[in-house]
A = this chain, B = another copy of it.
Amino acid sequence: MPRKIYVPVGHHYIVEASGCNPKIIGSVEKVQDILVKAAEIAGARVWAISFSKFPPSGVSGVVVISESHISTHTWPEMRYAALDIYTCGSHVDPEKAVVYAVEAFGASTSHITEITRGIDEGDWKFFHSFITWEEDFRKHMKEKSEKK
Contact = CB atoms under 8 A, between A and B. Distances in A.
Interface of A: 5-6, 8, 10, 12, 14, 16-19, 47-48, 50, 52, 54-56, 58, 60-62, 64, 66-69, 71, 73, 75, 77-80, 82, 84, 86, 88, 109, 111, 113, 115, 117-118, 120, 124-128, 130
A117 B60 contact: no
B113 A130 contact: yes
Given A71-B62, A88-B73, A56 B6 contact: yes
9 contacts: A6-B75, A8-B82, A14-B14, A47-B60, A48-B52, A78-B126, A109-B125, A113-B115, A113-B130
A55 B127 contact: no
Contacts of A54: 47, 66-67
- Give this chain's copy count: 2
A56 B130 CA distance: 28
Contacts of A58: 67
A73 B12 CA distance: 12
A101 to B, nearest CB: 15
A84 to B, nearest CB: 8
Contacts of A67: 54, 58, 60, 73, 75
A71 B69 contact: yes
B77 A50 contact: no
